[in-house]
């Protein structure tokens, strides 16, 4: 695991392998080791929605476009979307291996035969080494996992699963209208574990209502579970989401930039060392956002966070001393 806070900007760029998606396409060290070279994500937008949108109006912070701001139209065939993105990545980064990223909305909310068909289409492209499925904790079921395992065994293509949790504070999950609680997330991770699919968890460290203690507890909960990767997001507010109205009316408070950077430092220091950190801040096109990163560039925020990590002498996992019978260990029993 690379310690990004100890690197200069050029070193970070080199390690992250920024694609047309910016930080979303970074090549993490574990995948570089697994596949023998850097791999790049190619986003695919499938014609799918989210159960929370159908049943409860959707998450307050989610825009009509979901999270795939730079994705192709879902009406475009999978192979066309992949080819379009691949040509740009190959030309710019001389890439040779790729991850297909079914990114937008809840991809396992598709009927299983339909989802498998899309996976088969993606597998038909040369040099695809992995398919990453973005979904919700309440949309994981064993028959889907069995089918993914069969797909992996037959094609040799890895399957990874990205779960949007956002916070371990179930009061905040309810306030943000997420449509699930913490229990569904724990259940999903434990269901996935026997199949050994890499699990990436998405977290927002500054949702309205959350505190520093929620950020710390989020790191602790993820570390106690079989989680492989985490993507950290600073809250952004799209202009088309329900939270935008509350923000414009002054009804919600977003923590300060300094508070977020401190939460981020605390989270990383408590996070298990082997969990790969794929992202530290959000990225959204400026034209689509009412609030994002306190009006600062990603690099400025990274520099400030790196300075705080060095000031506190923090590295990832330095304070992860709470697992596996911590009290017994303290008393040398």
DSSP string, 239-290: TTSHHHHHHHTT------HHHHHHHHHHHHHHS-TTSEEEESS----GGGEE
| 93-124 pLDDT per residue, tens | 888 999 999 998 899 999 999 999 999 999 99
pLDDT of residue 14: 44
Please tell me the least confidently modeled range out of 94-98, 119-123, 142-146, 215-219.
94-98
Q: What percent of the chain has pLDDT over 70?
A: 89
Q: What integer is the mean pLDDT of 202-215?
A: 98
Map out the domains of the chain as residue ranges: 4-319
Using the predicted structure, report yes or no on whether residue 57 has a pLDDT greater than 90: no
What is the phi/psi pair of residue 100, to 5°? Answer: -85, 125
| Confidence bin at 284 (pLDDT 50/70/90) | confident
| 19-35 pLDDT per residue, tens | 323 333 334 457 888 99
Q: What integer is the mean pLDDT of 203-229?
A: 98
pLDDT of residue 291: 93
Q: Where are the alpha helices (DSSP H) in 103-211?
A: 112-123, 142-155, 170-175, 182-192
* 158: helix, strand or coil: strand
| Confidence bin at 139 (pLDDT 50/70/90) | very high
pLDDT of residue 314: 98
pLDDT of residue 70: 60
4-319: in CATH 3.20.20.70: yes
CA separation for the pair 44, 80 (Å, rounded): 10
> Which residues pair with residue 237 across a beta bridge?
291
Q: What integer is the mean pLDDT of 305-315?
A: 98
| Confidence bin at 8 (pLDDT 50/70/90) | very low
Across the chain, mean pLDDT equals: 89
Task: Give the helix, strand, coil percentages of the chain, each rounded to 5.
Answer: 45, 15, 40
Model pTM above 0.95 = no
* 204: helix, strand or coil: strand
100 phi-psi bin (left φ>0, alpha ψ -120 to 50, beta other): beta
Angle made by CA atoms 33, 107, 89, in degrees to the nearest 5: 45
């Amino acid at each position: 695991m690379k310690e990004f806070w100890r690197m200069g900007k050029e070193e970070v760029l080199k390690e992250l392998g920024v694609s047309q998606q910016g930080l979303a396409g970074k090549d993490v060290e574990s995948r570089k080791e697994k596949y023998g070279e850097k791999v790049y994500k190619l986003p695919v937008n499938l014609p799918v929605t989210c159960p929370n949108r159908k049943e409860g109006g959707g998450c307050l912070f989610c825009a009509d476009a979901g999270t795939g701001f730079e994705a192709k139209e879902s009406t475009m065939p999978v192979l066309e979307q992949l080819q379009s993105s691949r040509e740009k990545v190959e030309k710019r980064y001389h890439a040779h291996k790729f991850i297909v990223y079914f990114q937008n909305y809840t991809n396992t909310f598709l009927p299983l035969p339909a989802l498998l068909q899309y996976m088969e289409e993606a597998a038909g492209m040369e040099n695809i080494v992995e398919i990453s499925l973005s979904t919700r904790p309440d949309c994981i079921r064993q028959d889907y996992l069995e089918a993914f395992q069969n797909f992996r065994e037959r094609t040799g293509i890895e399957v990874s699963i990205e779960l949007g949790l956002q916070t371990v504070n179930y009061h905040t999950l309810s306030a943000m209208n997420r449509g699930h609680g913490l229990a569904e997330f724990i259940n999903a991770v434990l269901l996935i574990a026997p199949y050994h699919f890499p699990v990436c968890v998405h977290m927002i460290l500054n949702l309205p209502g959350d505190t520093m203690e929620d950020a710390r507890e989020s790191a602790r909960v993820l570390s106690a579970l079989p989680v492989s990767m985490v993507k950290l997001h600073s809250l952004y507010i799209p202009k088309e989401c329900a939270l935008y109205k509350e923000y414009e009316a002054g009804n919600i408070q977003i923590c300060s930039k300094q508070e977020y950077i401190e939460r981020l430092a605390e989270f990383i220091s408590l996070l298990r060392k082997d969990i790969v950190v794929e992202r530290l801040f959000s990225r959204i096109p400026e034209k689509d956002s009412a609030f994002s990163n306190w009006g600062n560039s990603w690099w400025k925020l990274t520099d400030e966070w790196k300075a705080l990590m060095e000031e506190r002498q923090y590295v990832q996992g330095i304070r992860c001393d709470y697992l596996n019978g911590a009290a017994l260990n303290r008393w040398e029993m």
